[in-house]
Structure 1
Amino acid sequence: MTETSPDLARPFADMRPFLEFVRERGFDPSYVVDVGANRGRWTEMAREVFPRARFLLVEPQPEMRAPLDALCRRLPDVRWVECAAGAREETRVQTIWADLEGSSFLPHPQADRLASGEQRPARVRRLDDLLAEDGGRVPDLVKLDVQGFELEALAGCPSIFGRTELFVLETSLFAFLPDLPILREVIEFMAARGYEVYDLAGYIRRPVDDALGQLDVAFARRRGHLRQHDRW
């Protein structure tokens, strides 16, 4: 009888246990970037797992100034920038959801929504430029949760591919918004840049029929620390 590995008992598709898992395998990031930081809750959790890491947070919504400023005062190794990350420096229209957590750049601008404030302009910057302004360091871990804008954000940081060890990306199995890339497209994008699916760190089902809707997918460098061999 084959002995069951203790790792099989690890919670599946759960962010914190996943981060603890890679830490146990020797992944100890010194610099982490959180794109789509929102209120900073992911960073707070990740910093508990990686207490020696320095964090750069990217978040465009002005409603998050108070919680993110408070987080940075409390944790001096955390810094945030008020903008979105994209392929180029520009201003784009962001659609704001009531919970401030699902806001997205993908819905097309509409005059009535702009007039009501449901849509508004936001500054977009290249992540490569933000990293250069933050000392030019290459992040070991990049988390992106930007409601379908992940590939646009990644297009703005070509310098870190092949150097960053781990990306955690929110992906969708259905095109819930216009021009939203689905999981297959994200996998192809990352594979072309030297990254393979490594694990799942979260999931959510869509309410309409309980089908699997979104996955937080961890992509590891193809021959990096976490993928040093192909043994079973």
Structure 2
Amino acid sequence: MATLHRRLLRLVARFGLNVTDLAPGTVLLSRRNSPRVESVSTKTWLVSHGKGKKRSAERADAAVKKFAIAQGMRVHQLGGGAQLVVSGAADKVQAPVERAASQYLGRQHAAALLRHYQVNCVFDVGANIGQYAKHLRRDGYTGRIVSFEPVQKILEQLREAAKDDPDWLVYPCALGREATSTEMNVVFGSMSSLLGPSEYGSTRYKRFAKTRTQEIQVRRLDEVMDEALEGIDEPRPYLKLDTQGYDLEAFAGAGTRIKEFVGMQSEVALMQIYEGMPRMAEAVPIYEDAGFEVTGMFPVTREESTGRVLEFDCMMARAESLPNGAVVAPREVG
């Protein structure tokens, strides 16, 4: 597969395209100013071409398709100058490809929202080891990032990731409705939470059996905003929430200052992994009441045996915050 990958890269280069690895065996070809191929999962690539001359675009698409078919691969035209190239049996790669493609499209949607609403500060709540912030940088965001992570071992990795980025700040705390000290349930990976696992969560994720606790600090978002935004002329903040069931509590801690945010995203649940975790039907109306409107929904986790979606990454914007002179362009942010 490595040799096949290199041959695909050489072919793409001949047409002035960019190849981005999505995952082993999967690439994305793109045709914009700097086209790219990104690996989305095992044996699957997303190839995005972007904008360009129609004839050149058609030739590039045809070349990729011809090459892929000759190698026993499948090509799916996604529209908007993108192709999904898949190697392997459909029944073996469908689930990871779908998951990875959704994550990729969600990242692209978020990046477009930040550009469209001219965001200059992203509050990254539940930062873990900095995956979200790293993707922001890769997708072209150059503004400030303010990450919050309370778990000590993970915090060390986050600080290491941010150390060479002067406009990436790290706060060693969680955010909530009240400023306090409390115990965090520390779980392997990215599943630590201030909430305990539900019966369903404990059954699905065996790692909850090895939960330990750590004393952490919880602060209110409205108490840290002035410090976090210091030095930014005309702040246009965006709020990203990924707190393993605690998003509404972190959101409440913004108080009336939530009106200052031009957009946000939150993981909204259909299945409760944590005890007391709000469901999507409860969370989305609260965000809407605060003035945000949904711009996109992207599955985060899915129960493969049944096909049920457990959580969506819900992205929202405050339409009234659209910069003066900007034109709403659904194709740009969708």
Q: TM-score range by the shorter chain?
A: 0.7 to 0.9
The structure showing larger relative contact order (alpha-carbon pairs under 8 Å, at least 6 residues apart) is: 1
Does the Cα contact within 8 Å between 2:241 and 2:265 map onto a contact in 1? yes
State the secondary structure of the residue aligned to 1:55: strand
Q: Cα distance, 1:150 vs. partner?
A: 0.2
| Equivalent of 1:143 in 221, 234, 240 | 240
Matched, 1:53 2:150: no
Does the Cα contact within 8 Å between 1:140 and 1:166 map onto a contact in 2? yes
Q: Which residue of 1 aligns with 2:109?
A: 18
Q: Cα distance, 1:177 vs. partner?
A: 1.8
Bigger mean CA offset, 201-210 vs 148-157: 201-210
TM-score by length of 2: 0.58
Matched, 1:177 2:271: no
Matched, 1:106 2:195: yes
| Equivalent of 1:225 in 322, 325, 332 | 322
State the secondary structure of the residue aligned to 2:259: coil
Q: Which residue of 2 aligns with 1:123?
A: 217
Query: What is the number of equivalent residue pairs in this alignment?
Result: 219
Q: Cα distance, 1:204 vs. partner?
A: 1.4
Structure with a larger share of its residues in helix: 2
Q: Does the C-alpha gap of structure 1 residues 170 and 8 become closer, same or farther in structure 2, counting only changes over 3 Å?
A: farther
Structure 2: unaligned runs, 5 residues or longer: 1-77, 84-100, 198-209
Q: Mark the structure with the bigger radius of gyration.
A: 2
Q: Which residue of 2 aligns with 1:75?
A: 165
Query: Counterparts of 2:140 and 2:79 in 1: how far apart (Å)?
Result: 22
Does the Cα contact within 8 Å between 2:148 and 2:171 map onto a contact in 1? yes
Q: Which residue of 1 aligns with 2:178?
A: 88
Does the Cα contact within 8 Å between 1:94 and 1:121 map onto a contact in 2? yes
Q: Does the C-alpha gap of structure 1 residues 121 and 45 become closer, same or farther in structure 2, counting only changes over 3 Å?
A: same
Does the Cα contact within 8 Å between 2:128 and 2:155 map onto a contact in 1? no
Cα RMSD over matched residues?
2.9
State the secondary structure of the residue aligned to 1:214: strand
Bigger mean CA offset, 10-19 vs 215-224: 10-19
Q: Which residue of 2 aligns with 1:33?
A: 123
State the secondary structure of the residue aligned to 2:192: coil
Does the Cα contact within 8 Å between 2:121 and 2:229 map onto a contact in 1? no
Structure 1: unaligned runs, 5 residues or longer: 109-115
Matched, 1:203 2:300: yes
Q: Which residue of 1 aligns with 2:286?
A: 189
TM-score by length of 1: 0.82
Q: Does the C-alpha gap of structure 1 residues 8 and 87 become closer, same or farther in structure 2, counting only changes over 3 Å?
A: farther
Bigger mean CA offset, 30-39 vs 217-226: 217-226
Q: Does the C-alpha gap of structure 1 residues 201 and 224 become closer, same or farther in structure 2, counting only changes over 3 Å?
A: farther
